[in-house]
Amino acid sequence: MSIRPVPPPDGGPSVVHQLLSRNSLIVGAALLLLVMMAWIWLLSMPDASMADMAGTGMADMPMGGMPMAIQPLSPSYFLAAFAMWSIMMVAMMLPSAAPMILLHARIDRATSHYARLLHSLMVMGSYLLIWISFSAIAVGAQALLLHGGYLSAETLSLGGRVGAAGLLLVAALYELTPAKHRCLENCQSPLIFIHRYWRPGARGAFQIGMRHGLYCLGCCWALMLLLFVGGVMNLAWIAFFTCLVAAQKMAPPRWRLDRWTAAFLFVAALFVALR
C-alpha cells in the first residue's frame, strides 16, 4: 500500500514548498553560514596551531631526540596549506561576491524551486572554484619561498624589505592598469554584469559564476599576494584586505578607490623600502 502525502487542510502549498520558494533567502543563509564558518575557523585557531596548519612549525615527531621540521615541498605541507588558503579565500572573497549571487538567485526564473536552488549553488560553487584554484597557486609560491628562505617560518611573511617593497610596488602599479579597471568595472555592478552575461539553465549558472570569479581574480590577485607582506596568517591583515576588496566592489565607481588604493600602496612601499 502506497502512502501519499496529506495536503494542507486549506489546499495551500506545504511548508517545504514555501521554504523552497524563497530561493534568495536560502542562498543568503548559505552565504552567511559559509563566511561565518570560515571566519570562526580563522579566529579560533591559536598562533601555534595556525603555524602547524600552514606547515611552518615543528612537527612533534622525535628523531634522535630532536623535533623534525615539516618540509615545505612535501605533499602533507601542500594539503595543509591548501586547506588554509582555501578557507581564507572563502572568508575574504565570498562577501564581496554576495550581491551578484543573491541577485542571480532573485531573478532566476527556472521552472522549479529545486532548479533555481541548484542554479544558485552552481553560481556560488563555480565562483569559489576560481579562488580555490588560486589557492593552489598561492600555496606553490608559499612553499617555494619558504624552501628558499625568503619567507619567515614564524609569520609567513617576506623577510627582506626589498622583496616586500617590490611586491607592494607591483600591486600599486597594477591598480592603475586598464586590466584592473576593466575587471573592477565588471565587479561593481551586479545588475549590469548579469544582464550582459546571463545564460539560462545550469550551464549558464556555472558559466556566469566562473566568469565573475575570473573578473574578481583579475581585480584582486595582486592584493591577495600582499598577504605575503603582512603575514599570511596575520588576522588583522586578512581583515583589512577583506574590507578593502569589498569596498572597491561596492563603492560607487566615481569614488575611484582603486586610485586611492594605489596611492596607499605606493606610500607603503616607500615606507618599507626606507625603514
Give φ, ψ of 67 to 5 degrees: -65, 145
% of residues, the chain, pLDDT over 90? 56
Residue 109: the pLDDT is 78
C-alpha to C-alpha distance for 175 and 179, rounded to whole angstroms: 9
- pLDDT at residue 251 greater than cutoff 80: yes
Q: Which of 153-157, 170-174, 219-223 has the least mean pLDDT? A: 153-157
Query: Which of the two residues, 50 and 40, has the higher pLDDT score?
Result: 40
- pLDDT at residue 20 greater than cutoff 90: no
C-alpha to C-alpha distance for 87 and 236, rounded to whole angstroms: 16
Q: CB of 98 within 8 A of CB of 31?
A: yes
What's 19-81 look like in SS3?
Answer: HHHCHHHHHHHHHHHHHHHHHHHHHHCCHHHHHHHHCCCEEEEEECCEEEECCCCCHHHHHHH
Residue 69: the pLDDT is 56
For helices 178-188 and 257-274, what crossing angle results, to 10°?
130
Mapped onto helix, strand or coil, the DSSP state of residue 129 is helix
Residue 233: the pLDDT is 84
- Please write the tens of the pLDDT for every residue from 86-134: 999 999 999 999 999 999 988 887 777 788 889 999 999 999 999 999 9
Cell numbers placing 69: 621540521
- pLDDT at residue 56 greater than cutoff 60: no
Q: Is the entire prediction scored with pTM above 0.85?
A: no
What is the chain's mean pLDDT, rounded?
83
Amino acid at 79: L
- Please write the tens of the pLDDT for every residue from 76-89: 899 999 999 999 99
C-alpha to C-alpha distance for 183 and 188, rounded to whole angstroms: 9
User: For 254, which DSSP code?
Assistant: G
Q: CB of 231 within 8 A of CB of 222?
A: no
Cell numbers placing 252: 560607487
Residue 274: the pLDDT is 87
Kindly indicate the confidence band of residue 49, based on its pLDDT and cuts at 50, 70 and 90.
very low
- pLDDT at residue 1 greater than cutoff 90: no
